Structure 1
Amino acid sequence: MNKRLGDNFLNFADQEYREILSEQQGMTFKFKLKQGRFIHTFCAGQLLYKIGLSPEMIIGKELRDFLPYDVAEYKETFYHEAWQGKEGISYEGEKGEIFYLASLRPIKQSGTVIEVIASCVDITERKKAEEELRATKELLESLFGHPVDGICVTNIEGIVIRVNHSFEKIFGWTEEELVGKSVSSLPLNMKSDIVEISKQLQKGMNVISFETVTQRRDGEMIYIHLTMSPIKDAQGNVIALTGITRDISERKRSEDFLRKADKLNVVGQLAAGFAHEVRNPLTTLRGFLQLMQSKENWNAEYADIMVAEIDRINSIISEFLTIAKPHSLSLKKYDIGIILQNVITLLEAQATLNNIQFHVQMESSLPLVKCSEIEIKQVFVNIIKNAIEAMPSGGEVSIVTVVQTNYIYIRFIDQGVGIPETLIQRLGEPFFTTKEKGTGLGLMMCYKIISDHNGKLTVNSIVGEGTTFEIKLPL
């Protein structure tokens, strides 16, 4: 009776064990060596079905019965090693798009292997990750090895880990000479504080880009554009820094050449316009002098006209000299709001006489702007005077200041006659003006002053509704 109970218990335990194995995510199988053939005696697990097999296709069969001959022959080499009693035998298998790792363990009785049991785990996701990692590594190696830009990778202490061939060509040092050295100790003559930039990147800033002048190994000074960014691990911690350097010396030389060419072009335009503008009053003066020579009596009206023409010549020459005279900007930090308010106060009387009101929308506390107070005042005066003259019947001039990111915008909006779109692009040309008695030199000066301050002057206008002059200045 006890023996029967014991047998029932063992059968029950064996059945429960088989059910547990059949529900496992992996796969378990066993095999024995019978008449020189490795015959499978057991196979279960969800992985078995994932690779398109079933226990009926495995149990009682050898590898060649359900696998291609070459695959079966390859796996039998591991079966032989395990049957010989070797421990730690494992191999990777593949069926369709499923990858698995099989580990074989020999079961011994009295020192003799009587059976081998194998456990398999699904490594498909790991394989995909490895493949993605390999492809990413190949891509990075390709990007690192072949670009025109120089790439330098450092650890968070600024010690060089690796540089590419382009970096070597730009600066003249080899990778062997740079690796292991601190970036700040290299004779790159960079004015920016690399250590401080590294701290900013480690604190969360993603990218820092700037242009600077630096020195090659041979002492030649070159212009570079440097972009620095952090390299983070899966947890978001900064583990390294990368700097991408582009040699922009040739571009700078081209820009200098074009700038000089532009200056020569402007000088030519100024000279032509100046000659044309001065010739007209001179012709008038010459005509009146000829009249005076031919007549005995002097007409006082002639004198008034001649004085007016001489004043016009003087005005043109004064503006011409203002543009032509070389000067260096004296930049200091000023409150644009105060400068603007002073200009408004200065022109308020003239506006009132012309039936014009100022409507000012200005923030109470504006950030300081590095500028030349005299020149910025000159721009404001010129633009507001233009707005007043554009409204012969009166109206309102709105003055609005807006601060966005690293810039301040000052907008002057009038209700004047407006400027045709075809003429807006010509504003700022010497001696081009929409005013009857203007020279165009005042607005040309405005464009030049704002450009010298690294800002931008733009004009938008609708005929019959008004014009908006917008000045953009860096903070």
Structure 2
Amino acid sequence: MTSTSSPTLILNKVGKILNMNEAAIKLFNLNSSYIGYLTMDESSNLNWAKFVKQLQSDLRSEEIFNIQTASNEFEMMSFKCFYDPNTEEIVAQISTLNNDIAHELYVSQEQERSQSFHAYDHLPYAVIISDASGIILGLNKYAEMYLKIEKSQLLHKAHQHIFDTFTLKKGQITSYLSKLMGEKHANIHVVDETQVMTPCYYEISSIYDEYNNIIVTVINDETEKKQLQHKVEHQQALNVVGQMAASIAHEIRNPLTSLKGFTELLKLNADEESSMYLSVIDSELQRMEQILSELLVLSKPTSMKVELLELNNIVKQVIEFMLPDALMKNIMIQYISPSTQVYIGGNENRLKQVFMNLIKNAMESMNNGGTITVEMTADCAIAELQIKDEGVGMDSATLQNLFQPFYTTKSAGTGLGLAFVKKVIEEHEGVIGVSSELQKGTCFHLQFPIYSFNQVDTMDVSTKDSAYLVT
């Protein structure tokens, strides 16, 4: 379908032009860099404030204003407007009253056409139908599922309410609406972050059907594609780590072992002051060895010993180990355990390292003390473990890069700990997610598949291939 662009403006609340397309420049005979106001007659100027107030309430509205055109004559024009509350900007599609005759005809036929919307229920993807002024007329069952809203709650509302569920960047809606109204088609990529473990990614595409005078919007689920893309990017980062670790590990570990040996010999004949300095040296050598071990974790292929584990018992052992250090920092660790035993298949040592790493991170974020809450829940198929702190929290940029190797916000951190955590969880066929709010705290969510009674009865200790070594 071919169409010409409609005159489209982006305005602020007092009617100042912020941007416009070529059709609007031609209609009003303005320079492309013009930033000013449309010339209205006195009655239209008085009506503008009332119109904007209604627009802020409904998010879309339509009104007629008397506007000065390129011929310096005033002409009655229809403003079909959408309001973006995030940017406080108005996207306005302009048309003369003569061009609105088709719209009036459409309104009179709205009931007849709406009866045919049930046909969209049989399509295998999400479809939403809005009228030319931006009022939602219908949506199918897939759209209800993606938007997490019942049809009755969305009908006859402004088109922008489609985006209520999703996480959007500032100005994204304004840009989308401007393109839709000017070029008759637009698309936007959004994220649904209401499920912490598995955020969903969608592409929303809209097109204006001039023949039927409606806006057709289709939602395409891109979650699987995005997850695969993230896994590839994460694996590429790990490959870089592996190549680097393989080239330097041998060169570092040999002199490191010698230094540790000579340090122990010097301690035998050292006085009190020398012993203090040697202890500092020994501590730093141990830290260097830990960094090297983390590099090797992410680089050297090995096999993981898998055995039947009672997860509740492992978590209790880790908490008992971490509790003394936590109490010294005025931190309590509260554990809410399930009422039944929870069995999974895995490697006990690696899981303990994961849990200790996450609790240690939680403690380091709580400079003023507080409570770390560890809670385990389970159903017939999935065990979920949550580790929640009352620390400083993280911003969105940190959350996006959290599991990338070498990414850290700590002055003395290596950025390898959470990359290791993620890989171990995936080795156990689990998933990990995180939610956080600045100055309120962070919560890590871990999920593992539960072994059924039949699996427990028949399970033997086995060896599972792994691309990562725990040292």
- TM normalised by structure 1 equals 0.38
| Structure showing greater Rg | 1
- TM normalised by structure 2 equals 0.38
